[in-house]
Amino acid sequence: MLTKRLIPCLDVRAGKVTKGVKFRGNVDIGDPVEFARMYYEEGADELVFYDITASNEGRGIMIEVVRAVAEAIYIPFSVGGGLRTLEDMRAVLLAGAEKVSVDSGAVRHPEIISQGARAFGSQCIVLSMQVQRAPVTEKIPSGWEICIDGGRTRTGLDALEWARRGEGLGAGELCVNSIDQDGTRAGYDIPLTRAMAEAVGIPVIASGGGGSAQHVYDVCTDGKADAAILASIIHRREMTIPDLKKELAGMGLPMRMNW
């Protein structure tokens, strides 16, 4: 049976792992390669790296990080943040990432999704989206709006419509980040994740708000997610991946237990 994936997410700024709350205020918490190795050995099913350095200088540092991570771990990992062109994507894939994740860049230039899918295959392209509740209007019938630029800018795009469009353009997976839940540890956004999973036929990764095994269980059952992103609770070692997996397997959620 296909298992549900637990995916640690590492925000990387200038070569260091950092963690912020509600997309504001970041503190450096360690070396990305060390984090990657630790989570790999603890049984993480996949890793996600977001490069939150916006500068070109940062880009070069990130490629070095990707290369070092690829030498250290033998599970899939994706890299996102600031990828704007096919060449940006090619560079991280050649450095050893399994997948690339596009977000604000894809909202501005949706054709990056189809170009990437054509060049590298849909399985390589994760469409990541930052979603925030909004009043229901004609333009935003679902009541969920796409935001960009670290959640700072509202776009007026309906999140479900954008998800369907992204799938049509060739995205292979969706990563749904709830701005309302991010950093709160109060649980994933179940209605949002479920609406996304029902809107598309590709796997959905839930992100934002994960603080306990129960939260992961809920979003993978009621929320119909295929995978869940974990960040602060595991980075701060308040819970570990093996503990979470044991608890989730005990609750009946299919988990990879051999690693």
Partner 1 sequence: MIAIVDYRAGNLTSVLRAVRHLGHEAEITDDPQKIRAAERVIFPGVGAAGETMSNLRKLALDGVLRDDVFRAGKPMLGICIGVQVIFERSEENDAECLGLLPGEVRRFPARAGLKVPQIGWNSVRQARPHPIMQGVPDQAEFYFVNSYYPAPARSEMVFGVTEYGREFASVVASVNLVATQFHLEKSGQVGLRMLDNFCRWNGKPC
Among 27, 34, 156, 259, binds partner 1 (CB under 8 A): 259
Provide the phi-psi class of 143: left if phi over 0, else alpha when psi is between -120 and 50, else beta. left
Task: Provide DSSP, 87-150.
Answer: HHHHHHHHTT-SEEEESHHHHH-THHHHHHHHHH-GGGEEEEEEEEE----SS-TTSEEEEETT
Give yes or no for residue 194 binding partner 1 (CB under 8 A).
no
For the bound state, the minimum distance from the C-beta of residue 124 to partner 1, rounded and expressed in Å, comes to 8
Site stretch for partner 1 (CB under 8 A), options 24-32, 107-115, 117-125, 147-155: 117-125
| Residue span binding partner 1 (CB under 8 A) among the ranges 17-25, 53-61, 199-207, 236-244 | 199-207
Phi/psi-derived region of residue 149, left when phi > 0, alpha when psi is between -120 and 50, beta in every other case? left
Alpha-helical segments (H) within the chain = 32-42, 56-72, 86-94, 104-108, 111-120, 159-169, 190-199, 213-221, 232-235, 241-250
Smaller CB separation from partner 1, 157 or 169: 169
Shortest CA distance to 156 belongs to which of 177, 173, 135? 135
**1 binding partner 1? (CB under 8 A):** yes
Side-chain-side CA neighbours of residue 157 (13 Å): 21
Q: Give the SS3 label for residue 215.
A: helix
* 18-57 residues near partner 1, rule: CB under 8 A: 40, 43, 45
* Interaction between residue 90 and partner 1 (CB under 8 A): no
Does residue 10 belong to the site contacting partner 1 (CB under 8 A)?
Answer: no
Q: At what angle do helices 241-250 and 32-42 cross, to 10 degrees?
A: 30
Q: CA–CA separation, 208 vs 88, rounded Å?
A: 26
Q: How far apart are CA 257 and CA 41, in angstroms?
A: 12
Which residue stretch of 116-124, 131-139, 174-182, 214-222 sits at the interface with partner 1 (rule: CB under 8 A)?
116-124
| Binding-site member from 94, 108, 109, 168 for partner 1 (CB under 8 A) | 94
Query: Could you tell me which stretch among 69-77, 150-158, 214-222, 244-252 binds partner 1 (CB under 8 A)?
Result: 69-77
CB of 148 to partner 1, least distance (A): 25
Choose between 93 and 147: whose C-beta lies nearer to partner 1.
93
Does the footprint of partner 1 cover residue 164 (CB under 8 A)?
A: no
Closest separation in Å from C-beta 61 to partner 1: 20
Q: Quick one: 34 or 238, whose CB is closer to partner 1?
A: 34
Q: Is 150 in the site for partner 1 (CB under 8 A)?
A: no
- Interface residue list for partner 1 (CB under 8 A): 1-5, 40, 43, 45, 70-71, 74-76, 93-94, 96, 98, 121-124, 172-173, 201-203, 226-227, 256-259
